Amino acid sequence: MRILVTGGAGYIGSVVAEELLKSGHAVTVYDNLVKGHKQVVAPEAEFVEGDLNDSDLLKRVFRNSEIEAVIHLAAYSLVGESVQNPAKYYENNVSAGLKLLNAMVASEVRKIVFSSTAAVYGEPEKQPITENDKLQPTNPYGETKLAFENALRWYENAYDLKYASLRYFNAAGASKRCGEMHEPETHLIPLVLQAALGKIPFIEVFGEDYHTRDGTCVRDYIHVIDLARAHILALDILDERSAIYNLGCGGAGYTVREVVDMAEEVTGLEIPVRIGERRAGDPAVLIAASDKIKSELGWQPEYQELRVIIESAWTWLRNHLQKARASHTTSS
Ligand SMILES: NC(=O)c1ccc[n+]([C@@H]2O[C@H](COP(=O)([O-])OP(=O)(O)OC[C@H]3O[C@@H](n4cnc5c(N)ncnc54)[C@H](O)[C@@H]3O)[C@@H](O)[C@H]2O)c1
């Protein structure tokens, strides 16, 4: 199939595109580069610089490139920013997302895999979280993702569009070519590695008095290649049905302290840590269960170990910085 990957110049989308190509699909990346980087788009993929709001361009791409399905990752995803500026999040994650759905319906493209988030569950009453748990997002980011999920349900009802919504927490790690370079970076693993390199002075740990194994919060990390493969598996059901799947480590997760300790082991460098206050609304544990996607689609994570996740991120980061230095020297 030829798949349109929206947000395919971003962190997860670039790896989704790589994995799609490896599994024999053809790929068109559609990205406005507001956060993405053109150089991470695989050379074998077609690249269209475009915005979700550009309905005419979307329809042209659907027709000319003979797109059969969409993997939709283009969105804004900073929780704090979404609280400060909900309009930005409703406009991009909901309103612009609906333009994509409308262009799909108009072009008779009826399959979509949607990059949702476990933030749709808010602060869950039990762990690990399963797909039937209460949906009660605690910030506009989670609300906008839930609004889009709800739209998918109604679009299926009215227009027979089939969808798979994948709800996940922290994508982490890197492929050989593609890694995490958000601006600003808010994710723990890249920040810890930046602290190891002295690019930021220290890592702030928000609270060490939680009822967890070492007092710091437990979070769910999933390797970006495992995540990308789940998107591809999800494509296969769309001839017949729609579905919602959690994607998470399901087990004990990793504490913030364990991440820092493992990063010190992998890098061989000391990582300065400062203990700060708890952040309002930070649950002690957030873990998503992946039993449903494992049993229904046979998804099996290959790179789940924390050491493997951090090693891949570290290798990528050093290569990336080396290349950046080399291109700076050549251009100056
Ligand atoms: N990174 C995570 O840990 C995580 C966890 C759960 C869910 N998600 C979801 O996964 C998706 C990808 O996340 P990421 O970390 O790769 O983010 P990212 O910012 O690296 O990638 C998003 C891409 O979408 C593009 N984009 C945004 N708005 C657009 C628009 N209107 N038109 C065209 N392109 C647009 C950006 O330029 C960027 O390349 C997002 O939808 C995010 O909500 C991410």
pLDDT at position 266 over 70 = yes
Q: What is the mean pLDDT of residues 303-319?
A: 96
pLDDT at position 111 over 90 = yes
pTM: 0.96
Three-state secondary structure call for residue 203? strand
Please tell me the predicted confidence (pLDDT) of residue 294.
97
pLDDT at position 232 over 70 = yes
pLDDT at position 330 over 80 = no
Taking CA atoms only, the protein residue closest to ligand 1 atom 34 is 31
Q: What is the mean pLDDT of residues 206-217?
A: 95
Q: What is the mean pLDDT of residues 247-273?
A: 94
Residue ranges of E strands in the chain:
2-6, 26-31, 46-49, 69-72, 111-115, 162-168, 170-172, 203-206, 218-219, 221-223, 243-247, 254-255, 273-276
77 alpha carbon to ligand 1 midpoint, in Å? Answer: 6
Please tell me the predicted confidence (pLDDT) of residue 186.
87
Q: Is the peptide bond before 128 cis (omega within 30 degrees of 0)?
A: yes
User: pLDDT band at 303, cuts 50/70/90?
Assistant: very high
What DSSP string runs through 92-151?
Answer: IIIIIHHHHHHHHHHTT--EEEEE--GGGG-S-SSSSB-TTS----SSHHHHHHHHHHHH
Identify which has the larger pLDDT, 325 or 61: 61
pLDDT tens digits for range 45-70: 999 999 999 999 999 999 999 999 99
Q: What is the mean pLDDT of residues 184-207?
A: 93
User: pLDDT band at 271, cuts 50/70/90?
Assistant: very high
Distances (CA, A) of 23 to 2, 29, 173, 273, 295: 12, 16, 20, 41, 21
Please tell me the predicted confidence (pLDDT) of residue 66.
96
Please tell me the predicted confidence (pLDDT) of residue 39.
94
User: pLDDT band at 32, cuts 50/70/90?
Assistant: very high
Q: Which atom of ligand 1 is nearest to the CA of 172?
A: 3
208 alpha carbon to ligand 1 midpoint, in Å? Answer: 31
Q: What is the mean pLDDT of residues 13-29?
A: 98
Evaluate: CB of 163 within 6 angstroms of ligand 1: no
Residue ranges of E strands in 236-316:
243-247, 254-255, 273-276
Evaluate: CB of 115 within 6 angstroms of ligand 1: yes
249 alpha carbon to ligand 1 midpoint, in Å? Answer: 21
Pairing of strands 254-255, 218-219: antiparallel
Helices (H) and strands (E) in the chain, counts: 11, 13
Please tell me the predicted confidence (pLDDT) of residue 243.
98
213 alpha carbon to ligand 1 midpoint, in Å? Answer: 32
Identify which has the larger pLDDT, 106 or 252: 106
Would you say how long the chain is, in residues? 332
Q: What is the mean pLDDT of residues 315-331?
A: 84
Assigned token pair, 92: 């991009």
Q: What is the mean pLDDT of residues 238-267?
A: 94
Evaluate: CB of 117 within 6 angstroms of ligand 1: yes
93 alpha carbon to ligand 1 midpoint, in Å? Answer: 10
Q: What is the mean pLDDT of residues 295-303?
A: 96
Catalytic residue among 30, 141, 254, 303: 141
Tokens 């969105």 belong to: 75
Distance between CA atoms of 9 and 19, rounded to whole angstroms? 14
Q: What integer best gives the mean pLDDT of the chain? A: 95
Taking CA atoms only, the protein residue closest to ligand 1 atom 18 is 10
Our measurement of the distance from residue 7's CA atom to the centroid of its chain's CA atoms, rounded to an integer in Å, reads 10
Q: For a pocket test of ligand 1, which of 18, 35, 93 has the largest count of ligand atoms closer than 8 A to its C-beta? A: 35
Whether 111 contacts 234, CB under 8 Å: no
User: pLDDT band at 323, cuts 50/70/90?
Assistant: confident
Evaluate: CB of 77 within 6 angstroms of ligand 1: yes
* DSSP-based helix, strand, coil % in the chain, nearest 5: 45, 15, 40
Whether 305 contacts 296, CB under 8 Å: no
Please tell me the predicted confidence (pLDDT) of residue 332.
62
pLDDT at position 299 over 80 = yes
Of 53, 48, 50, the residue nearest 91 (C-alpha): 53
Please tell me the predicted confidence (pLDDT) of residue 122.
92
Evaluate: CB of 36 within 6 angstroms of ligand 1: yes
pLDDT at position 227 over 70 = yes
Give yes or no: 30 in active site. Answer: no
